[in-house]
Amino acid sequence: MDAFLVSALAVGIAEIGDRSLFLALLLGLRYRRPWPIFWGMALGLFANQLLTALAGLWLFSLLPMHWQPWLIAGVFLIMAVWLLFEEDDAPPPVRSGRHLMLSSALAFFILEMADKTQVTVIGLMGVYGQVVPVVLGATLGILLVTTPALWLGHRFADRIPTRVVRRLASLLFLLLALWVMADALGWLPDWWSVSDLFPRLQPEDAASP
């Protein structure tokens, strides 16, 4: 449950002001068929997060245990910096037609490639190593942000202070990175260890019976 909730929260925060949000806004304004777009969006996002999670699981299976906290801290630092940059370029619209659902799925799958949410999911896989809750949580987190945009449109989205949210999210990821690094260096007491929130980072000697 922790992996699911943390994934939904972390990826949802990272998605604020992202390209997928703007694509959902654009599709919600242009087309009068929100349900096919929604299911296509959900399908494309799920497929992308599943691919990313499997790649993250493979990556951390090759990495020695004592290096994993540093890679995770690096991922969080990348997120902290990435969130400070605005994404001004709007994605191209998806054409309408019979296969609006499949077109939406393909558009969101491609749009999420090399995105900061993928970086977040890779980091979460290093933390938890659980594909199903991370993928479902990440997909839910993105949908919680993009679905209102699909239905409400630009008028309401313009009122969201995305710059402030981006900076707060950046600060959150920076604090997480510093927390992981401080714990890896042995600077934190046991009661404040990152293993309480991130079980996969539990030391090998503590994890063994």
Closest by CA to 123, choosing from 134, 114, 136, 137, is 134
Give the model's pLDDT for residue 8: 92
- Whether the CB-CB separation of 144 and 12 falls below 8 Å is answered with yes
At 137, the pLDDT band (50, 70, 90 cuts) reads very high
- pTM exceeding 0.75: no
* Top-confidence residue, 85 or 39: 39
Contact 20, 111 (CB under 8 A): yes
Instruction: Say what the pLDDT of residue 197 is.
Output: 52
Alpha helices (runs of H) in the chain, residue ranges in sequence order: 2-15, 19-30, 34-62, 68-82, 100-111, 116-128, 131-152, 154-157, 162-184, 204-207
Q: DSSP string of 50-102? A: HHHHHHHHHHHHHS-GGGHHHHHHHHHHHHHHHTTS---PPPPPPPPSTTHHH
Residue 7 has pLDDT above 70, yes or no: yes
Name the pLDDT band for 29 (thresholds 50, 70, 90): low
Q: Which residue has the higher pLDDT, 204 or 49?
A: 49
How wide is the angle at C-alpha 129 spanned by C-alphas 184 and 138, nearest 5°? 105
The CA distances from residue 115 to 82, 89, 122, 158, in Å, are 10, 14, 11, 22
